[in-house]
Structure 1
């Protein structure tokens, strides 16, 4: 066992984060920590990392090494990227390993001062540090934020193979499904445990809540009868009556199951006319071209997802459509009824001293909807900001709560075109599900930049894929795109499928392939060892970059051939 937590209690001001919770973390555990925004997930992770005070007892394994990825990393701005990494990980790790993983996360200017990096770049540097530094327990707070889909898939593969303990907060449901083996849900100060991945957790949670409600109903029915008995004036003279009264007191003091309030989305879109938005040869670039001229006519109620590597120009295109940036070539034509709501990354420039209600009323005091007119205060309540929270300074809100507040402000303008730039960042899964249901029924156009694969599959019917300065159009969601992008793999799968019906036996060609693989794999491993030796003896960046690329390619080749070797070996064993 790596860590034992007993009778943990934690309050932020009057808000209960943890109330007498106990749990343990074992070696090789892969745990997903989930809960509503503001429930205290990040605070609990900080407690485990030793960065937050608490009441209770935490016993850790002797000499345990803990790596922690904060939601908002803090670095020394005068350090270069490489200096910051070495300051965190020490000098026992070879420089080529550090440069390789930094390059994986598109941090290629290794001598750039950390203070010049964007928030997303700092998060990626912090993630690289957390992954490269040896540890027994890895704590990750929203690791997929600011990663493009290629980086996310790399991180997913890394964490699947990771053989140490892992606890992570993430809204990425594919991540939870494929990586985690246990789930911990923080809910109203209580912690619930599930030996399950995400899909099994959903089933077990529904069963738990149903059981809780049934138990509470029976308790209330019993208390109702007992209350009638107590009111009848029965004297506590006999031992039996005393015991009955004590049981009544005990049950009456039990807390009810909290009534869960869910985000309430209502239909707020303005009417959208027949003429929408047309992109005429839109292109943009700074020192070089970001994307070549792009033409597109947006259909009414169309759902477009935008994907591509970081820095390819996705957010730039949203800025252009939102009229916040002029394209270097081409122009955008708008229908007369177009009203754009632009939900940007982060939570824009919020005044931490401003009250929640004032922030919303700055946009509108009343909102006309198809369900009637709602005041700013009523809309705040529908977005889970009760009367007390409405007069709370924004600075006291969690990251997810700020994101939810920002979303409300965007919707208060009653847009019929929604531009969403990484809308899933920092939102809890429950809010995401409600948001997805709302977007399904939204009467207007939605264009979203997102690296959340589940969100893209759930929402989009068209993808704009940024690929080598070109914008390609693909029908369907993310999974459809990935299938179409790998036609060779699909053909291989179709070719081998009929063989499942035959008797398990290696063909002549498969026998030759197995023999070749057994001879080739040791040679590839030797090449990998030789590349590592070369990397130890070079210092210039160009050589390191070239050798690192060779090493990554060789590793992928070894992995592919090893998987094929295992399949053939298993088939050979079954034939005997």
Structure 2
């Protein structure tokens, strides 16, 4: 693989804050690299430097000659009056600049330099630029090319910017949080697109499934230093822990030796010979190692939720529409105590509107919503990030509460609570305006949790949060003694946190799925295969689509079907346990050849049985 980018001894600081110091790394053709660091460590700054949008203090950056670079910013912006198609010609890239040169040449008398421009237009395939833009926009489900940018949602704007980046077929693609604001279908489309192409990739993302499936190498910025791991995200986690464990042992050993050497230094020996001077110099080097500090990211936040009664909320016959766009269509639901619900669906299907109706911020067109008296909401919204820029971080949290109760007489001060969310004492006494976008999101999350809610409503909580913070939040939500509703496009996060999904299909069609996101995707694939097989064998016939009915109007289960339903639950659990045991045995490396053959044959049988019984269980669950 030939090198296309080399970074040597790069240093960047803002005043007293040093983001990274003397870091060096390179990219070779075809490499797919994920960049990981805590919020505020300089991920976006590094990408801005590489794209030429920001300067640096020291170091050297070398690109291969004629390298075409595409850069997707974390928060792209365009002039509001532009149409979608015009936006694809707005941000400068070599092809767009060439088209502009060609148009200028044609408007100039004598057409100076036309022959050279025609050759370059052919070489760059610039004649097809507009058609290519429309094709990629269509793949990204943007089909109104004349719609003005100001009318686009955050997800649509991100897709326009993504199309703008992909059109030129860059040699090096730099992506800053590409999955932010993208719905799940678009995230999976992009994942598959990147896996099919041969381009070189450098990417910052918090989406761990995306990172695992797309990247083959991880670069981490930690404590101003860069570390490289030749493997995917799962491999990185394993090797990073090994590095931290080894470093911890080294620091502990240095501390033990430091105490001995400190005592020698304090005695101030009179004879300062060569050996003494050497020992003194070694002492100062040892001191640097011994005084290193590590912030343990694996903290456990066990905050006591306030008491919540049996009655949570009951939605009855809710309807909501914006013109012809139906959001809720005769929706009824009774929320259970300690329930953890995930909400998924494409952008524009009404997920955020449903949350706002629940929070009393939007009124339904009809129907009632009855919320229990003991419910105390903690609401993390997409647009709720508002702080006094001149306040210190610690003051923002202390304005809400000086301490937070953990239960059993334990409590955390505001400062200790902030440290759980990776705000160092130094950062706590910094002003809000100095925080990065991800750090602001983390602070906003702290202000929500500090109020001791018993019902958390989190609307896209994973956007702009780093992976370390997500791990802290996941652990917190798993042990949270209250109710949770999460709207998120982060598949890994949903799998970790929720018990079941409310799937928004659009047009007021909302279905309850009893499982996490991965199980839902697997079920959809099984269902799609099943439907395709049914269509292939069925005789073509025109049949009216049965009208959707309310749950209480459906046919109820017979006694025999009820017994079958209960038996299926037991059988599916037993089959899944057997499947897990078989998979573990196959990975153990201890099986004989005969056992290996037997279990290899059994595994696909178990998968088919689980799929078959799950389909029947879902059919019966519709009658429950």
Normalised TM-score (structure 2): 0.74
Corresponding residue for 1:271?
307
Q: 2:76 aligns with which of 58, 73, 91?
A: 73
**Deviation of the 1:222 alpha carbon:** 3.1
Q: 1:328 aligns with which of 365, 378, 389?
A: 365
Corresponding residue for 1:545?
none
Q: Is the 8 A contact 1:67 1:135 kept in 2?
A: yes
2:500 aligned with 1:462, yes or no? Answer: yes
Corresponding residue for 1:3?
5
Q: Is the 8 A contact 2:418 2:428 kept in 1?
A: yes
Structure 1 residue matching 2:90: 3-state secondary structure: helix
Corresponding residue for 1:447?
485
In 1: Cα distance, 2:401 partner to 2:268 partner: 58
Q: 2:258 aligns with which of 188, 206, 223?
A: 223
Q: 2:42 aligns with which of 29, 37, 40?
A: 40
In 1: Cα distance, 2:71 partner to 2:290 partner: 35
**Deviation of the 1:14 alpha carbon:** 1.5
In 2: Cα distance, 1:363 partner to 1:100 partner: 50
Q: Is the 8 A contact 1:236 1:245 kept in 2?
A: no
Q: Is the 8 A contact 1:188 1:258 kept in 2?
A: no
Corresponding residue for 2:387?
350
In 2: Cα distance, 1:431 partner to 1:421 partner: 16
**Deviation of the 1:291 alpha carbon:** 3.1
Corresponding residue for 2:218?
183
**Deviation of the 1:108 alpha carbon:** 3.2
**Deviation of the 1:286 alpha carbon:** 0.7
Distance 1:366 1:2, change over 3 A: same
Please list, as runs of the form range in 1=range in 2, the aligned pairs for 1:33-432 lying within 5 A after superposition.
Answer: 33-54=35-56, 55-88=58-91, 90=96, 91=99, 92=126, 93-231=128-266, 234=269, 239-254=274-289, 256-262=291-297, 265-288=301-324, 289-364=326-401, 367-370=404-407, 371-372=409-410, 374=412, 376-432=414-470
In 2: Cα distance, 1:342 partner to 1:445 partner: 12
In 2: Cα distance, 1:191 partner to 1:177 partner: 20
**Deviation of the 1:387 alpha carbon:** 4.9
In 2: Cα distance, 1:215 partner to 1:360 partner: 36
Distance 1:110 1:218, change over 3 A: same
Normalised TM-score (structure 1): 0.80
Distance 1:214 1:364, change over 3 A: closer
**Deviation of the 1:329 alpha carbon:** 2.2
In 1: Cα distance, 2:486 partner to 2:527 partner: 29
Structure 2 residue matching 1:143: 3-state secondary structure: coil
Structure 1 residue matching 2:158: 3-state secondary structure: helix
In 2: Cα distance, 1:251 partner to 1:112 partner: 63
Distance 1:392 1:242, change over 3 A: closer
Structure 1 residue matching 2:522: 3-state secondary structure: helix
Structure 2 residue matching 1:342: 3-state secondary structure: strand
* Number of matched pairs: 497
Structure 1 residue matching 2:306: 3-state secondary structure: coil
Provide structure 1 residue ranges, at least 5 long, that are not aligned to the other structure. Answer: 494-499, 503-576
Q: 1:26 aligns with which of 8, 13, 28?
A: 28
**Deviation of the 1:365 alpha carbon:** 5.1
Distance 1:397 1:346, change over 3 A: farther
Distance 1:247 1:139, change over 3 A: same
**Deviation of the 1:192 alpha carbon:** 0.8
**Deviation of the 1:180 alpha carbon:** 0.7
Please list, as runs of the form range in 1=range in 2, the aligned pairs for 1:522-561 lying within 5 A after superposition.
Answer: none
**Post-superposition CA distance 1:66-113 (Å, at most 9, x none):** 111111113222322211202335252443321232233343332233
**Deviation of the 1:135 alpha carbon:** 1.3
Alpha carbon RMSD of aligned pairs, Å? 2.6
Corresponding residue for 1:540?
none
Provide structure 2 residue ranges, at least 5 long, that are not aligned to the other structure. Answer: 100-125, 534-595, 599-624
Structure 2 residue matching 1:140: 3-state secondary structure: strand
In 2: Cα distance, 1:287 partner to 1:189 partner: 53
In 2: Cα distance, 1:306 partner to 1:331 partner: 20
